[in-house]
Structure 1
Amino acid sequence: MRQIPGCGNWRIRYEQKNSGIAILRAETCDAEAVLPEELLGLPVTELGDYALAARDHGGGGEELELTGRRTDREAEWSNRRMHSLRLPCGIRRIGNYAFMGAFYMERFEFCDEPVEWGVSPFMNCMALHEIIVNRPGEDQGGLAKICGETDRELDVQIRDASGTRARLLFPEYAEIWEENTPARQFDHTTDGAGYPYHHVFRNRRLHWKDYDGLWEKSRERGGIEDVLTRLAWFRLRWPEGLEEQRRQSYLEYVTENRERLMRWVLENGDGTDLSRLLEIVAYTPQQLKEGCDFARESGAVQSLAVLLSGLRGEQPMGRRKRFEL
């Protein structure tokens, strides 16, 4: 097998198609896997059927091994062990069952270009949760495909050249089929708030008004306060396409759940997120002190500094009315 240096470690079977490379099979030992943009000077444009599935389904093609820096020489060569995967931006076709059985893949990053998606590429990707969409232009429908493929909660970041443009939460749901024996049929129901969010797309395009229009009905559900608090916070923190009426409703909800939200931001965000939170949501001095205690216990030095500034009045604590003559 021919070996060449690369940015990661891959064992690849490929063939050349129309001045591009079609990857028929790729296997890695990297937990954080990045598929190369080019091979042998040609762009990678296609992933074949089962190309990065956990099990090799065979096939032809030429063989190539990319050798990058390996920190764990004993790591298993198995896509089943991938924790994250980033695809090249030149991909124009993703084959049937392309990532099937990548059980530990939590994070998937791709460029939202015109792509031909095959059947059920994410089948049995049971841990998939975080989606990074690099969007250089208009919505090309990639996110709609992924949301329609899974019933699990998805935390989605939409990025452009300037950074994160939007962050959206698509809650989980479950489809339930129950046999109705007398009628000799199956009754279908859904459980959870997520089904309409996963299917909110029109012609595979995301419409912000439709997404926000699901909020009031979702808010009526009990027992999912953690989910709704994060969903509302993401829309306030990255208000792409957010109308004022919806913004007020989201703000009302996160204000009611502001202590829960601060704890989540301290555990999962950074100083910038926390600063933005204190600008949007009003906190009492006692709540800020409790946040300081939590930040000290968890060793979040940057967050602690932001909270202390808020206590001293150097950081705006929510939107305040000002009267100037």
Structure 2
Amino acid sequence: MADRLRLVFAGTPDFAVPCLQACLRSDGDVVAVYTQPDRPSGRGRQLAASPVKRAAAAAGIPVLQPETLRDPEAQARLAALRPDLLVVVAYGLILPRKVLALPRLGCWNVHASLLPRWRGAAPIQRALLAGDRETGVGLMQMEAGLDTGPVLLERRTPIAADDTGGSLHDRLAALGAELLAAGLARLGAGPALVATAQPEDGVTYAHKLDKAEARLDWQRPAIELERTVRAFDPWPVAEAEIGGERLRIWSAQARPGRADAVPGQVLAAAADGLDIACGEGTLRILDVQRAGGRRITVRDYLNARPELKSAASPPA
């Protein structure tokens, strides 16, 4: 009987947890889990363990949390684990060439896009912002470049008109775990995995999200603002100035516009939505959140701000 594969897993956020669980269910032995150091969280700024650390602790797997993997001591500690394969999912730390070369079978990465489109930190949100109709996950053999390695397996999924950053995150996390499980199974029983080089055409980069991007600019087309609202749910959540008040915008729909409307103008305020004129089209806002409050429907919001109903501008 062949020896069981020695797996080391590296990941940090919720997205990586299903993949860790896939490793734990596989025929390999997860000998250690790497995750980022505990970070301050919440209003009290208390140190909090990452979701991957909590999942590993619950499974009784040793957890290592180096600040960097560039340190020779950290590299020696990883080498001492004698990994056959290092599985990396949203780890958040750069893997130097020496680390990539340590495992006998190299390093795998589960990435939430159809490579080479949306290499980088925020592929889920960038796909939504761009209006992509399809996305997916790829199982990639890692190399020194940023998400440039050859792809071993891939799964696709359509992007629905009502998908948000949260819904797409959860679907791709589950799909990524299925893909990783399939890859690990094929390591032991075949057919052999074939690494396919990424095409040179179609490369785009999913840059890290900036909170400033979540501020809605009424000069922009309504469809772009709708995508922003969807992409930034649940973080960092879109924001906009409406009737002199800054609100978080949780749900909105792009609608046809009015030729006489000025961007930012309140066109209608009723129980079914708050219509704001945009550079092109109208954005109907459905769910909002006031400072210090909770998410509420526009119906409830207008009960607190009835003056917006009288301020709405009917068609000329």
Q: TM class by shorter-chain length? A: under 0.3
TM-score by length of 1: 0.27
Structure with larger RCO (C-alpha < 8 A, sep 6+): 2
